[in-house]
Each structure stands twice: as C-alpha cells, then as structure tokens.
Amino acid sequence: MNYLITIIGPTAIGKTSLSIALAQHFKCQIISCDSRQFFKEMKIGTAVPNDEELAAASHHFIQNKSIFESYSVGDFEQEALAKLSELFQKNNIQIMVGGSGLYVDAVLKGFDDFPDIDDSVRTEINAKYDALGITYLQEQLQKLDSEYYQKLKTENPQTLQNPQRMKRFVEVSIGSGKPYSSFIGKRKNKRNFTPIIIGLEAEREIMYERINQRVDIMLNEGLLEEAQALYPNKHLNALQTVGYRELFDYFDGKTTLDFAIEQIKMNTRRFAKRQITWFKRTENVSWFDYLMNREEIIKNIELKKK
C-alpha cells in the first residue's frame, strides 16, 4: 500500500523543516503544493526553501513554472498525480507539503465533474461583471443557488469577494440550468495512495510573531528588489499575491514603504487565518504543536501505516 504523508498548516509554521526531516527519515521525496512557489521569478516573496533545504531532500514543483505561463490547479493535479505514481514505484511512502488548501485537496480528493459551458455565457457574465462589479455576481449566485450562497457567506465569506471563483459559480449555474452546488460531491476520484495528514499549529500570538519575523527576513534578503524587477508585470495573475501587491502600491506612489511593509505583515496574518479555517475543515488530521518532537510525529505516522 502507498502512503502520502501530507503536511498542512498556516504560513511560517515550520512545514518545510518538518517535511525535510520526514523525507530523510523515510528516505523519500517531497511534492510541494504551494501555489506560488511554482513560479521561478518569485523566490524571496514566496519563501521558497533555500539551497541547503533543497539539497537536503529531493523536491518537486518548486520554481518549475514561469509567471508568464498559464497554470491551473487542475494542471497541477494531473502533474502531481503522475509524479507520485512514478515516485511510488521507488518507495511506497512519499511526502506532500504546502499551505494552498485547494491544491492539497486537488491531489488528495480531486475535483467534481462540471458540464462544459458555452463561451457566450462566459462572455456575457464577464461583460456584466465589468459593468456592475462583484455585486452582480453575488446577486446572481444568491438567486441561482441560494443554498450555496448562504454556505459561502457563513463558512468562507472571502470567496464571495473573489471574482474568478464567483464567475465560475454563476456561469455553471446559468449555462447548465442547475445550481452550481448540485454538481459537488457526485464524482468519486480514485487514488493509488492512502493519505496520512499531519497538521502543524501554534498559539495565534506565536504564529503572528513568526509571520512578522519572516517578512523582515524576506526584506533583508531582497524582497524589495525582487518586487521592483517584477513590477512591470504586476497585472499577471501570479503576482496578485501578498508581499508583492503591497510593494506595487508603494512603487505606484500610493503608500509609503513603511506602510506597505505593515500591510504585508497584516495581510499575511489574515492569509494565515484563512488557511487555518480551510485546514480545520479537513478530515482525519493529526494536529501537532509546531515545536512537537519529530520522533513523536514519526510514531504517529507509523501507527497509521499499520
């Protein structure tokens, strides 16, 4: 039987160091599912493992794409599953690590099947969004799939502010004539592995302090210069990312540098809270304090393999 040890948790909690320790113990390799560490132009601001960490264990899906390439979560799912099938031939234990909940779910569970939608529907929705804004999408979803709208409002309100996600919900509902939620959970995706999910957590004050420290380290390592080099391409989707957006505002003259740095810290803390909310809904997770002895975590994994 194959096992995929999956390490989840908020940013700056210590997932990378744990994944390397486990990879060395089990003599296996690491699949990264951090949706921003894929991009080779974004090294400092995405906290890519350093050269020493990358040398300590074999990593995959780190800086393997360009910000100029189109790369979806569906693309990642297919490529990650193919890589895992290859790696499982060498060792029946492999590791996946990352803080992008949607990408973790893509590998562990896959996606539901949705119908093909006529391009004319998408074009019309885009035009109305351009004219009326996010309110149009919210009102449409509330009318077409009120149950799903209420679920998002209660459990994941930030999604209601995400134009790309909202456009998708509305276009499926209009194009199919059925509520978006009616397609969820219908497809069973088979996997050739059993997940063993390890979650890392810390007291909120500790987590926030670690985030603030990480931002300071990034700045010392050259985040400002990295963002400056990427500034001409600030419109690209990959760069709509905490740590870059705030500095782009500074380059635009909208804020001071000190304010931009404080915004990076605040927005990263908010991002960590959203990560925790997402991962706490994940089933069958063994949660550990971020300082937990590695041997105890390994014992937990060994018990789940039996």
Q: Which residues are annotated as a binding site for substrate?
A: 11-16
**Cβ proximity of 138 and 170 under 8 Å:** no
Using CA atoms, how far apart are residues 207 and 201, in angstroms rounded to an integer? 8
Query: Residue 187: pLDDT band by 50, 70, 90 thresholds?
Result: low
Q: Where are the domains of the chain?
A: 3-111+189-305, 119-183
Using CA atoms, how far apart are residues 219 and 207, in angstroms rounded to an integer? 19
Percentage of the residues of the chain whose pLDDT score is greater than 90: 86
Instruction: Give, rounded to a whole angstrom, the gap between the first and last alpha carbons of the chain.
Output: 10
Of 187-196, 256-265, 281-290, the poorest mean pLDDT is in 187-196
Q: In what order do the strands lie in the sheet with 285-289?
A: 59-60, 30-32, 93-97, 3-8, 194-201, 285-289
Residue among 29, 179, 12, 24 nearest 94 (CA): 29
Q: How is domain 3-111+189-305 classified at the architecture level of CATH? A: 3-Layer(aba) Sandwich (3.40)
Q: 229: which strand partners?
A: none
Q: Which residues are annotated as a binding site?
A: 9-16
Q: Which residues are annotated as a binding site for ATP?
A: 9-16
Give the model confidence (pLDDT) of 70-84 as tens digits. Answer: 888 889 999 999 999
Average the pLDDT over 38-51 and give the result. Answer: 95
- Cα atoms in the 13 Å half-sphere on the side-chain side of 276: 17
119-183 belongs to CATH 3.40.1000: no
Return the C-alpha torsion angle 128, 135, 268, 109, nearest 10: -70
**Cβ proximity of 108 and 6 under 8 Å:** yes
What is the residue-wise DSSP string for 268-294? HHHHHHHHHHHHHTSSSEEEEETT--H
Give the model confidence (pLDDT) of 206-229 as tens digits. Answer: 999 999 999 999 999 999 999 999
Using CA atoms, how far apart are residues 68 and 90, in angstroms rounded to an integer? 34
Q: Model pTM greater than 0.75? A: yes
Using CA atoms, how far apart are residues 170 and 125, in angstroms rounded to an integer? 8
Q: Which residues contact 182 (CB under 8 A, 6 or more apart)?
A: none
